[in-house]
Amino acid sequence: MLRLKALLVCFFVMTITSCATVDRSTAPFPPQQTPSIQEDLGQQVVRHLTTRYADVRSNCGTDSQPAFLCSGVTIRGTASNPTYHVWNNSPASLAKGGVSLSYLRADSKFEKLAYGYTNGYIFNAYFYAGNQIHPEVLCFFPIDAGTVNRAGKGCGAYPGFAGSGPCHLQGVDTAANFWTHYNAHSDSRHSYQCGFDVTDGRNTLAGPAFAAGVGAMKLMGAESFGTQNEFIMAAWADGLGKTLPLEAFFYLNGTDGLSVAQRNQRDLKATDGRLIPIINVKLSRSTTDPATFYYLPADQTEPMPPAT
């Protein structure tokens, strides 16, 4: 059984992390359009981001392959801190044992990043990450869950809030169940919420669990749109800039995050000899407005190599 596991022209979206082995022979790669001219890496990346954002499949072929393996955009906002490499774990992540990211897709929109961050990095979907390492994906919360305070690397119960442990242990296995559970408390609902366990070990239950989490965001409506979700991966070792599935650094459109993204781009190249593009991300302005991804050559600290 299968295991878990962008241009001078701006691309617009109009309607638009498990150490387990993935069988790439069945990987549903994004539809490829033959470019009229040779793409560079930045053009290729923004095209792939746009395609994955629009891909709202429920899984990647089977229930044991959750949709995050092949669709959507896994994104982490980061602080402007020059004291450590941004792709290494923050002190808070190390203490928790888990890393908080967010999952962005046409059916899982949000208007801001955690803590108002304006830059960070994007991980490639694992089906397209080649031989890079795959940090273990642990759980998914439809809305920020204060995971720094939770046990189990951020996926467990919030202290003092009964029923806030993993969803399946609370009898919650669908979006509707989650909505009922979430609304059972008139206050502190973020703390009372449960998280969907999407670890590889859950096998055929992992895909439906992640789909239920994404579905719950839709039921939450404007509340979900106003606050980002939490997608937890197990913390990885430092010094892995060469092999982490880093797809791009990014900054949010209309913010001052570009200078930090440029510093991060230079840092990765100087430290690990690896060059990845900077992408301008414009988050949705409303629940009906799509997020968009732009690759601007003028943003880059050096020219991008040809696409691979």
Quote the pLDDT of residue 32: 45
Residues 6+ apart with CB under 8 A from 306: 38, 39, 40, 41
59-74: average pLDDT: 98
**Is residue 212 over pLDDT 80?**
yes
What is the C-alpha separation between 43 and 281, in angstroms, rounded? 14
pLDDT one-digit tens code per residue, 27-53: 444 444 444 578 999 999 999 999 999
Q: What's the count of helices (H) and strands (E) in the chain, helices before strands?
A: 7, 9
Quote the pLDDT of residue 28: 43
Q: Which of 6-20, 139-153, 241-255, 291-305 has the lowest mean pLDDT?
A: 6-20
Q: Strands 137-141 and 278-282, how do they pair?
A: unpaired
Quote the pLDDT of residue 33: 47
